[in-house]
Amino acid sequence: MFRTLLRSLSARIGLPLTGSKALLALLLSGLFTIGVVACSGGSITSQEVAGDAAAQATSSGAATVAGSTLDGILSAGTIKIAVPQDSPPFGSVGTDGQPQGYDVEVAKLIAEDLEVELELIPVTSTNRIPYLQTGRADLVISSLGSTPERAKSIYFSSIPYAPFFSGIYGPSAVSVAEYEDLSGYSVGVTQGSLEDLEVSEKAPQDVEVKRFEDNSVTVSALLADQVDLIATGNTIAGKVMQDNPDEGIENKFVMKNSPCYIGVRRGDLDMLEWVDVFVRYKRFSGDLDQLSQTWFGEPLQVPGF
């Protein structure tokens, strides 16, 4: 039987019998190898992919392997959180040279709940995501809105931790709650801004829209009674309300909503789960609402959540 198989192979490939014996051994060895790979192909492929991912993470300078950030923070006793340095009241540099703002206070709450030391990493809008990707920061809390494009690079907390929206603001004596209520009033906007476009498109025809060259002039127009209301971002309005408590300025309604999320490095599922629990807990406990009152001058409002 064996010799018949050898002769058959020898006749097919034109080799002498002795060569066929060697070839058969080689073929059988190859078939055995293929069988092993086919049975465990998924595992081998997964290991190769995991190895490639780990190598890429190492070469990119990431401080921790994806999925181990939380354990690493607890072990090291320190968390590095990127916060804004040029976006008040979310984050800016105070007169004492130290970071201050809503996002800074949220970062402090995170370190407190993790029972670790906090290292604040000042960032701008352009480098906040790269800092997270390369391991220079463990989290990003920097008035960061979630978009499908950004979600290709990092994870976002499943629920927002802060509001960010454009709205209509004015004194409490002016009673408006929707676009139709603006009829007959004058509304100040910063020329070319998102708010300018929104008011121009959705407000009634008899609304007097007054355009100003920048946000500071728009705000000054409201404080000087040159306009009845202004359309602006909640962060700008929050600072105005904080600096002018006697004016009775309040949010009338939200025009466009873009809440802020905490950024987590892609693959860090353990960190993401902890952050989600943290945000829910702090919202239910009222801690985030208290911070919103302090830094935005109004209760925490995140429409749709």
Query: What backbone torsions phi and psi does residue 89 show, to the nearest 5 degrees?
Result: -90, 10
Tell me the pLDDT tens digit for each residue of 115-138.
Answer: 999 999 998 878 999 999 999 999
Helix axes 17-39, 2-13, angle to 10 degrees: 100
Fold of 69-163+259-296: D-Maltodextrin-Binding Protein; domain 2 (3.40.190)
Query: CA of 202: how far to CAs of 20, 76, 100, 180, in Å?
Result: 85, 53, 36, 9
pLDDT at 3 over 80: no
Band (68; pLDDT cuts 50, 70, 90): confident
pLDDT at 63 over 90: no
**In sequence order, which residues have a C-beta less than 8 Å from that of residue 60 and are 6 or more positions away?**
133, 134, 135
pLDDT at 6 over 50: no
State the burial class of residue 292 (Cβ atoms within 10 Å of its Cβ: 0-12, 13-18, 19+).
Answer: buried
Highest-scoring range by mean pLDDT, 213-222, 233-242, 277-286: 277-286
Domain coordinates in residue numbering, the chain: 2-59, 69-163+259-296, 165-257
- The residue among 18 and 191 whose pLDDT is bigger is 191
pLDDT at 50: 35
Query: CA of 178: how far to CAs of 118, 124, 210, 242, 251, in Å?
Result: 43, 34, 19, 24, 11
The answer to which of 7-21, 53-67, 207-221, 283-297 has the lowest mean pLDDT is 53-67
pLDDT at 293 over 90: no
Average pLDDT over residues 242-269: 92
SS3 category, 248: coil
Cβ atoms 113, 258 nearer than 8 A: no
CATH of domain 165-257: 3.40.190.10
pLDDT at 9 over 50: no
SS3 category, 96: coil
Query: CA of 296: how far to CAs of 146, 198, 239, 289, 291, in Å?
Result: 21, 22, 7, 10, 8
Radius of gyration of the chain (CA): 30
The answer to which of 16-20, 78-82, 171-175, 262-266 has the lowest mean pLDDT is 16-20
SS3 category, 40: coil
Closest CA to 264 of 114, 155, 144: 155
pLDDT at 86: 74
- The residue among 88 and 158 whose pLDDT is bigger is 158
Same fold, 69-163+259-296 and 165-257: yes
Q: What percent of the chain has pLDDT over 70?
A: 76
> What is this structure's pTM?
0.61
Cβ atoms 69, 114 nearer than 8 A: no
pLDDT at 92: 87
SS3 category, 93: strand
pLDDT at 59: 40
Element counts in the chain: helices (H) and strands (E): 11, 13
**62-95: b (≥16 Cβ within 10 Å) or e:** bbbebeebbebbeeeeebbbbbbbebbbbbbeee
